[in-house]
Structure formats: structure tokens, C-alpha cells
Amino acid sequence: MQTRRTFLIAGLAAPMLARPGRAADETLRLRELYERRGTGLSDLAANLVGERISVDGFMAPPLKAESRFFVLTKMPMAVCPFCESEAEWPNDILAVYTKRIVDVSPFNVKITTTGVLETGAYRDPDTGFLSMVRLTDASYV
């Protein structure tokens, strides 16, 4: 009887253990959304499109005051790359669209954003910022 019970439990648990991916409440690192080489999305990101996810990073200086949009970066950025010609804009960023006006966080304080992952070209009507990857209906702490 013990062998049969062990077999049944193992048989039921195996599909759960074999599932790739992450727990729904697990926070991703920004770099996990992109391929290691190149500028494409990772397989993980492609599988999460349309899902509510959480991502850690740093709030880049805002493009304009009283916005419902900011850019999440993996490294702190003290200046807005769009405002300084010498600044280099990273290629692994995430546009974040919130429901409320953004309260700006210090550039060197890590935050966690949560929202619905979307991909494809989208030009923000207020700033003209073109994003290929973004979180919508987002919040942050």
C-alpha cells in the first residue's frame, strides 16, 4: 500500500514540479525580460505577455511633470537621457503606465512595479516616447 500511495503522490506532483516559469507573486529582474544577447524579448517575457507581473528596478528621471508614465531601468540614472546628449540610454528598459500621477522616487532607490505586460510599438501621446515593452495599469512601491 505504501508503494501505491507514494506512486500516486509522485504522479500528481510531477506535472507541478516540471512546469517552467515563475510563481505569480515572484518579482522579476528587468534583465529577465530580455535576451542575454541582442535586443529581443526573452522566452519568459513572451510567455508572460498579457499577465500581471512584478518587476524590480529604478525610476529614471521623468520626462515631464505630473505624468502617468515613467521608465524603469535596471541601474540608477541620475539624469534624464533624453535631456542630456552625453547620457547613454539603456536598451533594457520598461515603460510603466500608471492610473495615477507618478510620485517621483529618488533615482537611486529600488522600486517594485506591478502591472500587465504588453509588447509591440506604442507611442505615448503626451511625451512621444516610443516603447516596445511596457507595464500598463501599473502601481509601484
pTM of structure: 0.76
More confident residue, 11 or 118: 118
Domain contains 6: no
Domain contains 2: no
Task: Tell me the pLDDT tens digit for each residue of 64-117.
Answer: 788 899 999 998 987 765 565 545 556 678 999 998 999 999 999 999 999 999
The residue ranges of DSSP E strands in the chain, in sequence order, are: 27-29, 52-59, 69-73, 94-98, 110-123, 130-140
The residue ranges of DSSP E strands in 30-109, in sequence order, are: 52-59, 69-73, 94-98
Domain contains 72: yes
Domain contains 104: yes
Structural domains counted in the chain: 1
Domain contains 47: yes
| Residue 17 pLDDT grade (very low, low, confident, very high; cuts 50, 70, 90) | very low
Q: Which residue has the cell 529577465?
A: 32
Domain contains 12: no
Please give the DSSP secondary-structure letter assigned to residue 34: B
Full domain range(s) for residue 35: 22-140
Which CATH number does the domain housing residue 42 bear?
2.40.50.140
Domain contains 111: yes
Domain contains 17: no
Confirm if 93 and 71 have CB atoms less than 8 A apart.
yes
